[in-house]
Amino acid sequence: MKITRVETFLVPPRWLFCRVETDDGVVGWGEPVVEGRAEVVRAAVDVLAEYLIGKDPARIQDHWQVLSKGGFYRGGPVLSSAVAGLDQALWDIAGKAYGAPVHALLGGPVRERARVYAWVGGDEPSALAEQVAAQVDAGFTAVKMNAAGVTSPLTTLAETAAVVERVAVAREVLGAHRDVAVDFHGRLTPASARRVLPELAPLHPLFAEEPLLPDQARLLPGLVAASSVPLATGERLYGRADFLPALTAGIAVAQPDLSHAGGITEVLRIAALAETYGALLAPHCPLGPIALAASLQIAWVTPHFLIQEQSRGIHYNKEADLLSYVVDTEPFRFTDGHAHRTDRPGLGVEIDEAAVRAADRRGHAWRNPVWRQPDGSFAEW
Ligand SMILES: [Mg+2]
């Protein structure tokens, strides 16, 4: 079997899909994207595709080496995300060619269902309570929320209290047997994080995500020691070597993104590395159905998997949502807060190619907002 064609599709709300075709007629799909920089990743996929044309798609490990390292310069969000999407597509092809789900090719499943969480936004506490209640009604046992908006360099007493109050509202609705995770998006300075996390500890969050920026991993040991709140990070880390400082620092939860961190091939290695540090795995995935299908393949084969992010109804999903481009929604039917394993071949997702091609003609130009402090200076989003 040989790869004959690689195409990319810029589809709303903010995604990029790739389609890898073979001379046997087997087609694999991947999702190579950096949110807000999709066009840049598309160009990177085009360059990497030059190498793949004419190659045997089954040599995934070798292709990963060449695509990741063969250009001399390596790593970073753009290249690692381009490799990630192509890697997903190659695993999809391998599964379809062998008539087996990817999890079977990886040694077989270790679980029947995978816990997933839902996003809640709601800047106002009353709206937040309603949104958490709606997710509980939908069967979810865990939600994730942003902790705060633009935050002062050193959080004021009011800002710290507002973070705690929002989480307290969610906790009140959830009760003691469900979970709330809190995403800081790197908006806190190290001193603010040391101030805020101990205040949150009594509310028992599942984890606090990106309390610091990813380039501040050297400061994580102090933050791990500062409170009992489990720390999570990883959506802006792109390979094993990027995760090592955070794991060494004692993070509780590693969050590689299947569409950023080199795909299934590299996330398996990150998972193995995390296991040696006693860290749990919770792949980042505010993305589309292919990225989620790839994430779930990891969930099926990873013993120390904790929970999976998924984007259904997330605030970014305007114009299209998780199910807009799939023929069969069954793999994404969540009951009792869990996704259920299927044994469909490949990644297990059937893409509506006509819908994807039509959406690509519309395209998108999604960009994240640029935030400012009240004095006009840049603020982390
Ligand atoms: Mg996050």
Q: Which of 152, 143, 213, 215 is nearest to 172 (CA)?
A: 143
CA of 235 to the centre of ligand 1 (A): 6
| Cα separation, 299 vs 339, whole angstroms | 10
18 pLDDT more than 80: yes
pTM higher than 0.85 = yes
4 pLDDT more than 80: yes
Residue 235, token pair as written in the block? 């959506």
What domains are defined for the chain?
A: 3-102 (3.30.390.10), 104-347 (3.20.20.120)
pLDDT of residue 218: 96
Confidence of residue 41 (pLDDT cuts 50, 70, 90): very high
Are the beta carbons of 333 and 340 closer than 8 angstroms?
A: yes
CA of 132 to the centre of ligand 1 (A): 18
Q: Which of 230, 151, 251, 245 is nearest to 192 (CA)?
A: 151
Confidence of residue 124 (pLDDT cuts 50, 70, 90): confident
pLDDT of residue 1: 97
Residue 372, token pair as written in the block? 């400012």
DSSP 98-144: HTSBHHHHTT--S-SEEEEEEEE--SSHHHHHHHHHHHHHTT-SEEE
Mean pLDDT of 120-146: 91
CA of 144 to the centre of ligand 1 (A): 9
Q: Write out the catalytic residue numbers.
A: 185, 284
DSSP-H helix ranges across 151-230:
157-174, 190-200, 220-226
CA of 284 to the centre of ligand 1 (A): 7
Q: Which of 242, 289, 247 is nearest to 266 (CA)?
A: 242
Q: Which residues pair with 143 in a beta bridge?
A: 118, 180
Mean pLDDT of 144-158: 94
CA of 355 to the centre of ligand 1 (A): 29
Are the beta carbons of 223 and 250 closer than 8 angstroms?
A: no
CA of 283 to the centre of ligand 1 (A): 10
